[in-house]
Amino acid sequence: MKKSIFIIVLIWFISGCGTTLAPMQEYTLTTPTPPHNISKIHKSITIAMPRFLRNQNSYHIYYSYNQTKPNSYLNSQYSDMLSKVLYRSVYEYIDGAMVFDNVLDYGSDLGSDLRLQLLVYDISHHIQNNQSYAYMSIKVTLIDNQTAKIIKSKRFTYHIKAPTINASGYIQALNIANSKFLSDLLRFVSR
């Protein structure tokens, strides 16, 4: 009898004590199709890996209530480090617009005329009074690589209402914010 109870308890522990965790849901940013009607700039540009002002560069999706201390979702995460997810989206959009002669990645050994730097102030899910928002704030700096001088710099901030209070709704709103950011970014670097 003791042996059978021991076997049942052992099986119960091995199987995870009878609990099952929800599967991990992975999210990424979608990159819209860029316009092709923008005047061509006969220069090359290197896109630098985004840097983060706060410690948000991870797989975690952060949320906060009334902008208090951020928490991360347990069963939802980005498909890669947030810097890489954002970088891919920016690179694909700028390259796909065919505005520059060459678009180089941050690891390229080739020289370029221009460098685009992104400083992320915040990308997170804000929940206030039972309403959900995607918040994205990024400073963009365009640098002349020949003179090492700043050509121009601008901070872009978006606060988009999400359809739901969960991670899925946040990502839907974040993709809208990202689409607006990419469109504004392309106009910014091409003027």
DSSP annotation string for 123-191: EEEEEETTEEEEEEEEEEEEEETTTTEEEEEEEEEEEEE-SSSSHHHHHHHHHHHHHHHHHHHHHHHH-
The pLDDT assigned to 109 comes to: 79
The pLDDT assigned to 141 comes to: 98
Q: What is the tens place of the pLDDT at every residue in 153-187? A: 999 999 999 999 999 999 999 999 999 999 999 99
Mean pLDDT of 73-88: 92
The pLDDT assigned to 47 comes to: 96
For the chain, what is the mean pLDDT? 88
Residue whose token pair is 């400083």: 119
Range with the largest mean pLDDT of 4-13, 20-29, 65-74, 111-120: 111-120
Q: How confident is the model at residue 31 (pLDDT cuts 50, 70, 90)?
A: very high
In a domain, 102, yes or no: yes
The total number of structural domains that make up the chain? 1
In a domain, 144, yes or no: yes
Q: Are 105 and 91 in contact (CB under 8 A)?
A: yes
In a domain, 112, yes or no: yes
In a domain, 12, yes or no: no
In a domain, 149, yes or no: yes
User: Given a cut of 90, is residue 1 above it in pLDDT?
Assistant: no
In a domain, 21, yes or no: no
Can you give the residue range of the structural domain that contains 126? 36-190
In a domain, 54, yes or no: yes
In a domain, 4, yes or no: no
> What's the CATH number where 146 sits?
3.40.50.10610
Mean pLDDT of 64-78: 82
Q: How confident is the model at residue 106 (pLDDT cuts 50, 70, 90)?
A: confident
Q: What percent of the chain has pLDDT over 70?
A: 87
Q: What is the tens place of the pLDDT at every residue in 122-150? A: 999 999 888 999 999 999 999 999 999 99
